[in-house]
Amino acid sequence: MNKYYISFAVVTAMAISANAVEVNPFGHLGAFYHQGFGGLGIQNKDGKEVQRAYANISARAGLDIGLSSSLSIGIGAWGGYPAYSTGVDGAVGDIAFPKNGDVSDAYLRYDGGRLSFALGRFDMGEFYLGKDGKNYTGVDWIYGNVQGAALNIDGGAVSLWAYWRNSQLGAGQAYNRMGYELSSFDTYQHQKANMGELFSGGIDIDFGALKVSPFVSYLTDENTKVAQRDILNAGGKALLDVGSGALRSFTTLRAVWGIDNIAGSASSASGLTLWVDEEVRISDIFKIGLGYINQGKNNNLLNYGDRARFYGYRGGMSGAGVGNFLGYGDTYYVFGGVETRRAAIDLLYAGGDYEEISAIGSVKIWQGNDKMHLSLGAGYVGTGKVDANSTLGNFIGNVTNGDKWQHSALAFAKFGF
């Protein structure tokens, strides 16, 4: 890997010296604070019970260098440091930030309109969803910076996509959760130890108002605490987009079947995940909706960055929330919110086998040229009782609340460019 980065640096220097290149910086400087105030007890150094809390600073800086109208290379670094943490050493802040820095971006990218691909370390969410995050894609179960490759062939009515990932940056990147890219950090190498190789491919079929995306994913050699296993997922997504002007309805149905093969075992486990989500947007500012998830406990879902709307059990305090969790059993939710160029609000209530009440908001207090901005955000996240011996308790780990709710507040500040 050292030779790779040295070679990449040489190419970057040569590219910058050329006359035709376009250089675009990207990154952020931010801070995140998470304070428990109920159900998150932990012992401090004096042996007294306090509520789990931590604060950290986070930074990312990189350059995207356009070698032509369709070809670019990029280099960037990302890191963070837990500046404050309750509990004994390593109990809270170090869970969110087990490592402090890594080369987050080192990529070659081609975007020729119909054909696009990326290779190296890059933001897979941006690759498939676009810089504004609003492009349609059937890639729903992976998000954020990965180490691997991605391909998209846009055929208009029928498009093909495929990706390979052998590691993922341990930053709290999430599609629908404000501020969580600031909440945790881990390196590619540290994450890679238990991840395995992930391969996926699918088709996006566009019927106009209806889009259908079947796919298949395969994970090799994932190392768990008890065994090594490989996992196969097959399924699809259907999106119905109707309405125009002031009122639009987005109905999304997802179905994924998964089978888990454990090395050295004659048996395997399988199950089905069903997820329906209905969102109504009013004047492209207000949103209201509801959803329902049913996930059998034997279905191992290859979920490394979904589009769920939950804020609980995400980012640092209870783990990054990636793996196979969407809400075991039956979970229903209702939500609302506001989104403008300057402000955003997310409100959610979830019940059933997973319980959550959350209210998060953010506001841009300064908007500069292009992507430069300064945002402040804050909110409340409450999650329902969790049995430490249950399937969910075993998954999220570090459960101490027994039959209590967990209550916490978060705040964040971000200067983005």
Q: Residue 102: give its domain's CATH number.
A: 2.40.160.100
3-state SS, residue 9: helix
For residues 303 and 258, is the Cβ–Cβ distance under 8 A? no
pLDDT computed for residue 323 by the predictor: 46
Count of domains forming the chain = 1
- How many degrees, rounded to 5, is the angle at CA 346 between CA 345 and CA 351? 160
Beta bridge partners of 164: 149, 199
pLDDT one-digit tens code per residue, 136-178: 999 999 999 999 999 999 999 999 999 999 999 999 888 888 9
pLDDT computed for residue 31 by the predictor: 97
pLDDT one-digit tens code per residue, 321-337: 334 557 667 899 999 99
Alpha carbon of 334 to those of 247, 288, 337, 347, 415: distances in Å? 18, 8, 11, 8, 31
- The boundaries of the domain holding residue 296 are 2-416
pLDDT computed for residue 339 by the predictor: 95
Query: Which residue ranges of the chain lie beneath pLDDT 70?
Result: 1-19, 90, 223-227, 262-267, 313-325, 327-328, 385-403
CA nearest neighbour of 108 among 56, 169, 45, 66: 66
pLDDT computed for residue 317 by the predictor: 45
pLDDT computed for residue 319 by the predictor: 35
pLDDT computed for residue 19 by the predictor: 55
Rounded Cα distance, 19 and 181, in Å: 35
Rounded Cα distance, 210 and 316, in Å: 37
